[in-house]
Amino acid sequence: MKRTKKERQRLLTETIEDNPFVTDEQLASQFGVSVQTIRLDRMELSIPELRERIKGVAAQNYENEVKSLPLDEVIGEIIDIELDQRALSIFDVKEEHVFQRNGIARGHHLFAQANSLAVAVINDELALTVKSNVVFVKPVKAGDRVITKATVRGKNSEKNRTYIEVVSTVNNETVFKGEFEMYHTKGSGDNHEASN
């Protein structure tokens, strides 16, 4: 069924309000129109592009929450965070993030997204990675959107340690997994040595 422009724009506005992180490509597919049509609709409706919407949501919600590092030092964009519990970020892989020869993303970008999210979720001024155990499950390519979730799995307050599991996905498929042991200054014990 073909919708009128007015109807499509009304539904487009509702869809973006429900999910600010939906891409123009996903919207084009949902409404059966070209990406260009979606962009024109957004311009007419003064709806910013995805990156600006993400920054807006992040600035509104998380500027005062993240204590361990400035938001602009997080690799990727934080889209949800509950300190000492969980955090979520997205990272759009561009040409500059991949090897020229095969178009596969360089591993340090995926690690940096995961590691900075593990730091950001800690409710402390200082959070450092003590050690990590990571697995690169599947290659990631330019154009992929990596969604990374960090979940706090345990704490040792005597040693000032927090244990965090991080999983990165592209199109709901796991591409990276990691376990991070984080040191931070807050804790019930006085042992501040970064011993393993």
**72-85 pLDDT per residue, tens:** 677 888 888 888 99
Structural domain of 9: 5-47
Q: Quote the CA–CA distance of 35 and 23 in Å, as a whole number.
A: 10
Determine how β-strand 127-136 pairs with β-strand 86-92. unpaired
Position 195 pLDDT exceeds 60? no
Q: Name the pTM for this structure.
A: 0.66
* Residue 14 shares a structural domain with residue 73: no
103 CB-side CA count, 13 A: 4
Predicted local distance difference test score (pLDDT) of residue 69 = 66
Q: CATH no. for residue 40?
A: 1.10.10.10
The least confident of 41-50, 68-77, 79-88, 175-184 is 68-77
Mean pLDDT over 151-170 rounds to 94
Mean pLDDT over 4-11 rounds to 92
Query: In total, how many domains does the chain have?
Result: 2
Q: What is the pLDDT of residues 109-149, one digit of tens each?
A: 999 999 999 999 998 888 899 999 999 999 999 999 999 99
